[in-house]
Amino acid sequence: MKLVRNRHTGRFVLMNNIRDERRSDFSRECSEECPFCPGRKEMIEYCRYEEVIDGKWVVRSIDNKYPALICDEERHNSGEIDYGKHEVMIETPNHFKSFFKFDEEEFKYILKMYKSRFIDLENEKMARSVIIYKNHLKSAGASKLHSHSQILSMSFIPPELEREIEMARKGVFTREVNIILESENFISFIPMDSYLSGEIMIKNKKNSRFNTISMDEIEELSVVLKDIFKKIFNVYGEIPFNVYLHSLPEEVDLEDYRWHLHIVPRKGRFGGFEFGTGLYINSLDIKKMYEKFMIEE
């Protein structure tokens, strides 16, 4: 569980042989095999957050059984490993439901959990950054069908976030064109220069850090997410996708940065060209994609 630099390319890689032991479960039937379904009492001791309505949990966060990083300060200080805390955030007790079918109330519970866990993990003594991410369906990297996201604190700032921070320092920002939705605090758009086909960004207009999100903003973003995923479903159907949230680390002072979400429907695939060149081909006609997203349902 150590961040190392490849001596041939200079690219960073997180070495971890534990996650290769993960079991994949994509049963369409809710069963005792799903560790995220209600009734799994062994989850209680690993539970870090839970929202209960009418005596039943609606969202909960648990320790990740196969963490990308672990909390071991002694081994971190010795240089043996990098430090981090890794949790799985279960977004619904319903085994079959996904972001495409969630309503505003369900997104609100999810975002409240995101904020609570983000603040707790960011306050870890060794944490320098925190990322929230989601993989939907197997081809997007998920090992379980049951809807969940993950949150990870890290004793370093990951390269992708560092690149965003560096571009913001230079005053270079993604152009907010092809605007799909705009509300008081959020703007959702399709970047013209996205290196991932079909990417959508949801950017907060005012704040650089996710931990500042207010209850009003949570309710507002819940509506935005419901509407965005409805549009994605209408255009693509139940497509595999990834979501990740970037927020400015506490140690970085950069007034112009804005926290944001990346939503990436998995339209493209990576092959020899991408691996061999480090370049990504965005083969999507962004103008046509935008037109499809703007069609009223």
Give the strand pairing for 2-5 and 12-15. Answer: antiparallel
Give percent of the chain with pLDDT exceeding 90.
Answer: 63
The domain covering 35-293 belongs, at the CATH homologous superfamily level, to: HIT-like (3.30.428.10)
Does the pLDDT at position 288 exceed 80?
A: yes
Q: Known catalytic residues?
A: 148
Domain extent listing, the chain = 35-293
Q: How far apart are CA 201 and CA 253, in angstroms?
A: 23
Mean pLDDT, the chain, as a whole number? Answer: 89
Binding residues for Zn(2+): 34, 37, 95, 146
The radius of gyration of the chain from alpha carbons, rounded to an integer in Å, stands at 19
Does the pLDDT at position 55 exceed 70?
A: yes
**Chain-centre distance for alpha carbon 162:** 17
pLDDT tens digit sequence for 122-168: 999 899 999 999 999 988 889 899 999 999 999 999 999 999 999 99
SS3 content of the chain, % helix, strand, coil (to 5): 30, 25, 45
* Res. 8 pLDDT band, cuts 50 70 90: low
Helix (H, G, I), strand (E, B) or coil at 15: strand
Handedness of CA 156, 159, 161, 166 (dihedral sign): positive
Does the pLDDT at position 32 exceed 70?
A: no
Q: Would you say the pTM of this structure is higher than 0.85?
A: yes
